[in-house]
Amino acid sequence: MSATFKRHGDGVRMELESFEVELLAELRDGLHRQLVDGDHADPVMQRLFPAQVAPEDEFVDMEVRDLIYDDLLRERLAGLEALHAIIDRGKPHRGRLRVDLKHDEAPLMLGVLNDLRLAIGARIGITKLDRDEVDEDHPAAYPVAVMDHLAWLQEQLLSIIDPASVSSEGPEV
């Protein structure tokens, strides 16, 4: 499988396989529904909107969460809408969907991929899951594979946006 994200001049080019287009659309739609429904007891909502911001003071914590919730929700929904627009403007090229990301879209895409990974992880209880026990017949096998694929996409994009952050040698001095 070839790289999905590549440097293209001063920008970033994204080329998605058809399964990636379908997967991102499905994940985007599912997370959008989850965010709009907003059941705060759901593990996805708890992961994307932390329960404690200022744990030392319950009143301050509640005020801070109330202040940031709407902004976080608006940002996440805008990111999902932007992903929709990015995919829609893509053009077929050699069996893939090609789109050149605009200047601000690469970091936005990185954030959306992260939100999608976090949502999947929360849904399957990744913190309680022993990945060594996840074989191909395990119910979490597909979600874990999707999370790993999204992580691979994130790493590619991050290596373009901030190469030092993914360098095995660390940042240059």
Cα 133 to the center of its chain, rounded Å: 25
Instruction: Give the span between the Cα atoms of 117 and 48, in whole angstroms.
Output: 11
| Residue-level pLDDT at 18 | 96
Residues 34-55 have pLDDT tens digits of 999 978 889 999 899 876 666 7
Instruction: Give the Å distances, CA to CA, from 33 to 1, 12, 63, 73, 75.
Output: 31, 29, 26, 12, 15
Q: Which residues of the chain register pLDDT less than 50? A: 170-173
Instruction: Enter the pTM of the model.
Output: 0.87
Instruction: Give the span between the Cα atoms of 32 and 26, in whole angstroms.
Output: 10
| Residue-level pLDDT at 53 | 64
- HSE, CB side, 13 Å, CA atoms: give it for residue 162: 9
CB-CB contact of 110 with 157 (8 Å) = yes
Q: Are strands 5-8 and 96-101 parallel, antiparallel or unpaired?
A: unpaired
Tell me how crowded residue 107 is: count the other CB atoms within 10 A of its CB.
15
Report DSSP letters for 29-48, one per residue.
HHHHHHHHH--TTSHHHHHH
Give residue for tokens 């929700």: 73
